[in-house]
Amino acid sequence: MNISLSEHFDYKKLLRFSMPTIAMLIFTSIYGVIDGLFVSNVVGSDAFASVNLIMPFVMVLGSLGFMIGTGGGALVSKILGEGDEKKANEVFSILTYFLIFMGVILTILGILFTEPIAKALGADEVTLSNCVIYGRVLLISLIPFFLNNSFQSFFVVAEKPMIGLAISIVAGIVNIVFDFLFVYVWQMEVFGAAVATGLSQLIGGGLPLIYFYRKNPTKLRLGKAPFDGKALWQSCINGSSEMLTNVSMSLVNMLYNLQLMKFVGADGVVAYGVIMYIFFIFTGMYNGYAIGTAPIISYHYGAQNTEELKSLYKKSLMLVGIGAIIMTLLAQLSSGMLAGIFVSYDPELVQMTTTAIQLFSLSYLLSGFNIFASSFFTALNNGGVSACISFLRTLVFQIITIFVLPIFFQVYGIWLAVVAAEFLALFVSIICFQRNRKKYAYA
């Protein structure tokens, strides 16, 4: 049964509507991990370190898709809540065409500067070649990567999250099959892993583009639209926090790698790479819920339905709290198994990675509240507050903790840096919730 954005959402309906997006984000994270599994276990730890060194650069560029998807999705949902379906389609079309245009420009620039950027990120004679190969191949698929990230949000706005999930599953299967063929069977090493990921992005971004371009049963369809600079700017401002989150995470990942090279060498970079793959899967729960519920919040904000906003706010905090406890316990109990999946070939590396996962995963107790807080204000079309939370959480606090804690706790301080950063960010989220509750009447 289809669920409309305009309906009242109890716990059951809220979970039913957001669950496909949660599953989509988790599944997307899992097939993103497949590259790492094949490269680490088939090609070796040096190649795995190369992938992890260059990946932040690709993610920085790809964050534009997240910005347009979340910021534009909030704006389009708000416009639908106001009852202007024609305007909503025009804005949706403009944003999609903008992503394609920017994808062309950034693909060319990214390919030209891959090698010097890889060197700046710490690539040496052993890792540089694989960094450049992996980075340039992924950049060729940058446009579908943009569209994939953006359409994840717009499928929710169109009230068709199950279609988004289905496309993600197909893309994931493509990635897994071709990783097996290219890396394991045909021994194409890092190049093969990158091509497999690029093909999956082509599916993830291309199929939704076709779906929304053709006549479909939703309220969204790509078509001709007059340029609307105000809507584009508002979408960018609304989604700036999500873009900032992804850019900051990529920059912070670079700092983590530099610190780990300083304290424990390449093994530390490998362990951190494992942590980040696991991190994307676990926080996919939070991000999926945030993306899945944001259009609901935006719609009822546009419709000025304050009672439903109050209900969504309270229920969401409760669900995030329950999820935080479950995910933290699960990460703690499965840490050894997860480490072994990636680096079973080196017992010492397994031990280091297990300890790192156990310390790092304590952040799951707090991160869900901060992710929801940022997404909540994006949904209310308040990009300033949302960006403030994200900027402090993902950049300022993490930079401080990643340099200060290792002074006292050595490598353990690096693993605990994110925990301290999330703790500090939680205070910011609480303050933002309290100061804006009367303005938006959600509490």
- Please state the domain count of the chain: 1
Give pLDDT tens digits for 151-169.
Answer: 888 888 888 888 888 888 8
Q: Does position 335 have pLDDT exceeding 80, yes or no?
A: yes
Q: How far apart are CA 53 and CA 182, in angstroms?
A: 21
| Mean predicted lDDT score pLDDT of the chain | 85
Which 8-state DSSP code applies to residue 323?
Answer: H
Cα–Cα distance for residue pair 337/158, rounded to 1 Å: 39
Tell me if 1 is assigned to some domain. Answer: no
E strand or H helix that includes residue 383: helix 383-391
pLDDT number for residue 73: 84
Q: What is the pLDDT of residue 31?
A: 67
Helices and strands (H, E) in the chain, number of each type: 17, 0
What is the reported pLDDT for 1?
47
Residue 274 in any domain: the answer is yes
pTM: 0.76
pLDDT surpasses 50 at 258: yes
Closest CA to 221 of 171, 146, 160, 167: 160
The range of the structural domain enclosing residue 139 comes to 11-440
Please indicate, yes or no, if residue 2 is contained in any of the structural domains: no
For residues 164-185, one letter each, b for 16 or more C-beta atoms within 10 angstroms of the residue's C-beta and e for the rest, the string is bbebbeebbebbbebbbebbee
**Residue 45 lies inside a defined structural domain of this protein:** yes
Could you tell me if residue 338 is inside a domain?
Answer: yes
- Residue 6 resides in a domain: no
Is residue 324 in some structural domain? Answer: yes
Span 202-221, pLDDT tens digits: 998 999 999 999 888 888 88
pLDDT in tens, 8-65: 888 888 888 888 888 877 777 776 677 677 776 777 777 777 777 787 788 778 788 8
Residue 3, domain member (yes or no): no
Using CA atoms, how far residue 72 sits from 69, 149, 257, 386, in Å, is 5, 12, 33, 14
